[in-house]
Amino acid sequence: MRILFFGTKSYDEKFFKEFLEKENYHDLEIHFIEPNLTADTARLADGYEAVCAFVNMDLGTATIDILHECGVKLILMRCAGYNNVDLDEAAKLGITVMRVPSYSPEAVAEHAMALVLTANRHMHKAYVKGRENDFSLSGLMGVNLYGKTAGIIGTGKIGAAMARLCHGFGMRVIGYDTHQNPSLDFVEYVDFDHILAESDLISLHCPLFESNYHMINKEAIDKMKDGVILVNTSRGALIKTADLVQGIRDGKFFAVGLDVYEEETGSVYEDMSEQILSHSTMARLLSFPNVMVTSHQGFLTKEALEAISQTTLDNAQAFVEGRKNGNELCA
């Protein structure tokens, strides 16, 4: 099966090629290209049976229709989230969509904790100050995590890993989820209003659905403690950015760490250092000293990339052999 791999980065090619050779996936041939998959680039898939795509690409109705016209039968998402894929359209056209449901929850949770620690203890500022020979302590005061309350919204695989990290820091851990995770016996489940009101740190780990779009909005922010730390490594649109910006201006947040943000499609993973920012919301977020933004990189560890490559190739192999392996989103 010929697979067109969209949005290739050097690390993708390295890990996928390594596993292709090591595991003898003889039925699979991958062609790596740089452009992201969108309705404008989908025609490149002409003659390929499968495409491989990622979280930052646009697999809406128009893209899926073009892929179908090109003869694509399989979409391999090399990620867990799939809110950017029109699954109904794919199912209607008989295209199978597969994903990597779990690769390394710890990779994302450890990044969430890195955001908490960096934003709280101002590591980014300390690094820059030190390099300028400025060892003064102004602007570097943080707060202790020990003894505080961590509120985990979404206690699935990544949320559970984050809950364990917070527990290890000596925090009381409370959780909000539509389904409770029985493995987290140290987590006290509360309702949404209570998690907002009681948490000193709020970390978002639920998938994005229409039902929880902008779940963190003005009303939710008003219910939070003053001086709360908010971290989002899940999906940007869980937070209404305009309301977050107002909350930051009002002094509600001690620190905010964002690995994902509403305007990321089109800009994430790109070097735009020589461009003038066209999105005013991002410019505003970047202007706040207590906001730390990273580039949807929670997944970016060696272990996670290995697991992503192997599972994606396993998915393709299962499809070739006509087997279902449980990673189908629609088939």
> What separation in angstroms does the CA of 172 have from each of 45, 71, 150, 178, 225?
50, 53, 6, 20, 15
2 is catalytic: no
> Which position's Cβ is nearest ligand NAD?
156
Contact region for ligand NAD (CB under 6 A) — 20-28, 170-178, 275-283, 316-324? Answer: 170-178
Residue of 78, 122, 205, 252 that binds ligand NAD (CB under 6 A): 205
Choose, by CB under 6 A, the member of 89, 106, 177, 314 that binds ligand NAD: 177
Q: Rule CB under 6 A: which of 213-252 touch ligand NAD?
A: 233-235
Shortest distance in whole angstroms from residue 276 CB to ligand NAD: 27
Catalytic, out of 264, 270, 303, 328: 264
Q: For ligand NAD, which stretch binds (CB under 6 A), given 37-45, 91-99, 102-110, 310-318?
A: 102-110
Site membership for ligand NAD, residue 158 (CB under 6 A): yes
Q: Does 173 bind ligand NAD (CB under 6 A)?
A: no
Position 187 contacts ligand NAD (CB under 6 A): no
Residue 108 interacts with ligand NAD (CB under 6 A)?
yes
Residues 252-311 that bind ligand NAD (CB under 6 A): 259-260, 296, 298-299
Examine residue 179 and tell whether it contacts ligand NAD (CB under 6 A): yes
Contact region for ligand NAD (CB under 6 A) — 35-43, 121-129, 150-158, 315-323?
150-158
Q: Is 13 considered catalytic here? A: no
In whole angstroms, what is the distance from residue 151 CA to residue 204 CA?
9
235 counts as catalytic: yes
Which residues of the shown chain bind ligand NAD in the complex (CB under 6 A)? 80-81, 102, 105, 108, 153-159, 176-179, 205-208, 212, 233-235, 259-260, 296, 298-299
Active site residues: 235, 264, 296
